[in-house]
Structures are given as structure tokens and as C-alpha cells.
Amino acid sequence: MQPGNENLWWTSPWGRARPRRPDGDPVAEHPIGGGVSFVRGLKVLICVAESGEVRADRIADDVAVPLSTVYRYLRTLRDLDLVEERDGSYLPGWRLQELSGQDLTHTRLVELGHTFLRELRDVSGETAVLTVRAGTHAMCLRQVESRHPMRMAFRVNQLLPLYAGAGQRVLLAHAPQTVIDRVLEQPLRHITRHTLDRASIVRELERTRRTRYLVSHGELSEEAVAVAVPVFAGGEIVCSLTVAGPDSRCGPAWQSYARATLVDAGQRLVDALDDSPRR
């Protein structure tokens, strides 16, 4: 802003004041301006959106921008509610989630998912779970527990490792490569003696992308079996559907039946999402 124009301001759609140039065009207070700078800012935003949760130094490496510059972009994006900072990491802000439809999708999954999970529980006899990716973790968004006294169960909104268990690893298999790299480069905790090592996980991810289903055995809980399928809408994975129970009840025949049932439920869930009103 040139001298003599300090008092020329406009109000953005988000209610934030910005300076005007003499010709009346708004300019940002921070370095997302034009040309190369604008492209860099978009790359920073894309990195956060794809990763779900990422530290500034990792963004600097991924987009090849100095760390000090990354912090300036992040400050601007945070001011616009496009990203938020939490415990030293950056996540998509509420406005970015709103613009991307993620919040609405999760709300509709919660509203619609219970019916399909109840059907899956009834026909499989085991606990049915709807899981979504939350950054470099998975989150149990909804579940309907088995009626058996001995059963598998998660907590709603519980965060789970993306690399262990059928419902979680299905999400990892179809996540952006930056997310896969970030998950696999960190120390992988062996939750049980059946938790896969890094090389086995990589092989399983490739196989899962081909087959679009996954069976896991005892990776999160000893003697547990889980079968999961990804659910796609608009070409993007939106969640996974899983049925899980003890291996004493969930042999090969059950696993085959569960897979077919999950595929059918997943397609019907997509149809319901397409038909439901977008508020």
C-alpha cells in the first residue's frame, strides 16, 4: 500500500479488513499475492489438505519452500480459517472443511450410517463399524455392536492407527501418497504379535488397491478377525465399512459372506449419500 492510502480498506466475505491498492484491487496483508508467491501459497494449502495433519518443517520439505516462508503462508491461511494449528501441527481449518464438503459428508455419514451398520450387524452377527481418515489416523465415526456377549467394540470418535486393522488400512491404501509416506516413516508400534511390519504393510496396500477389500487377523486385538471395504463417492474414498468379531466365529466362510455383504452395503450407502439432501 502506497503512502497516503493507509485508510483505504475493504471488508472480505469473511469480515476481515484488507488494504486496497489505488486502483481499488484488494491485496492481502501476507505474502499470498501473485505469480510464484500465489502458487507457493496454494501448494502449502494443498499439502495441509492432503496430509490432514502435518508439521511446518515437513511442509517446507514437500513444497521446497524455506521454513520461514512456510510460516508466513500458514499465518495467512490460519487468519482466513483455512488451516488451524494444534500441538505444533497444522490441520485443515473449519472453512477449508466447509468448502471441501468434508464436514457435511461426515454429518451425512453419521445420519445415514446407522441404518447400514445395523443391517451389517444383523446379517453378519458381528460388530459393524464405519471409519474415516483423520489426518494420519483413522477415526471410528459410528458403530453398532454385536449382540454376542464376547464381541469386538471401539469407542465412537476413537483414533486408531491407519496401518493396523482392516478398516483402517483400507483407508490408508487409498490415501494420498504423502499421507502413506508420513505414516510409514514414523515408528510403527507392534500392538499385537500379529501387527504387520513396514514391508508387509506396503505389500498389503498394493494388494488392497487391486482387490478393494481387506481381511485382518489379530492386528489390534488378539484372536480378532475383521473384513473391510472402502466406500467411494465422487471418485474419493469417504469411509470404510468393517465387520469384526472373534476368530472362533469368523472363519473363511464367514469372511467370504461378510465381504459380499459389505460390498453391497457400501454401494447402497453411496446411493443414499447421493440421494440425501445437502443442507
The answer to whether 211 and 95 are in contact (CB under 8 A) is no
Residue 53 confidence class, pLDDT cut points 50, 70, 90:
confident
d(CA 80, CA 260): 45
Of 10-14, 192-196, 214-218, where does mean pLDDT reach its minimum? 10-14
In the chain, ranges of CATH 1.10.10.10 domains: 31-99
31-99 belongs to CATH 1.10.10.10: yes
Q: Which of 252, 200, 192, 254 is nearest to 223 (CA)?
A: 192
Which segments within the chain are labelled E, that is strand? 9-11, 17-19, 54-55, 83-86, 89-92, 127-134, 137-144, 159-161, 214-217, 224-233, 236-246
pLDDT (0 to 100) of residue 203? 97
In the chain, CATH 3.30.450.40 covers 101-275
The pLDDT-based confidence of 100 (bands split at 50, 70, 90) is low
Tell me whether residue 177 is exposed, middle or buried, using C-beta atoms within 10 angstroms of its C-beta: 0 to 12, 13 to 18, 19 or more.
Answer: exposed
Closest C-alpha to 89, from 134, 57, 42, 132: 57
Q: Tell me, what's the pLDDT at 276?
A: 61
First to last CA, the chain: 40
Higher pLDDT, 210 or 48: 210
pLDDT tens, 107-157? 788 788 889 999 999 999 999 999 999 888 898 989 999 999 999 988 888
86 has which bridge partners?
89
CA 136 to CA 4: how far, in whole Å? 49
Backbone region of residue 69 per phi and psi (left: phi > 0; alpha: psi in -120 to 50; beta: other values): alpha
Domain 101-275 adopts which CATH fold?
Beta-Lactamase (3.30.450)
pLDDT (average), residues 37-62: 84
What is the structure's pLDDT at 120? 97
Q: In the prediction, which pLDDT does 105 show?
A: 65
Q: Are 134 and 158 in contact (CB under 8 A)?
A: no
Q: Which residue has the higher pLDDT, 150 or 90?
A: 150
Q: Which three cell numbers stand for residue 261?
A: 455383504
Least Cα distance to 44 among 16, 69, 81, 79 occurs for 69
Percent of the chain with pLDDT over 70: 81
- Average pLDDT of the chain to the nearest whole number: 82
Cα distance between residue 253 and residue 195, in whole Å: 23
pLDDT tens digits, 157-210:
888 999 999 999 999 999 999 889 989 998 999 999 999 999 999 999 999 999
Which grid cell sits at 216?
485382518
Average pLDDT over residues 53-68: 88
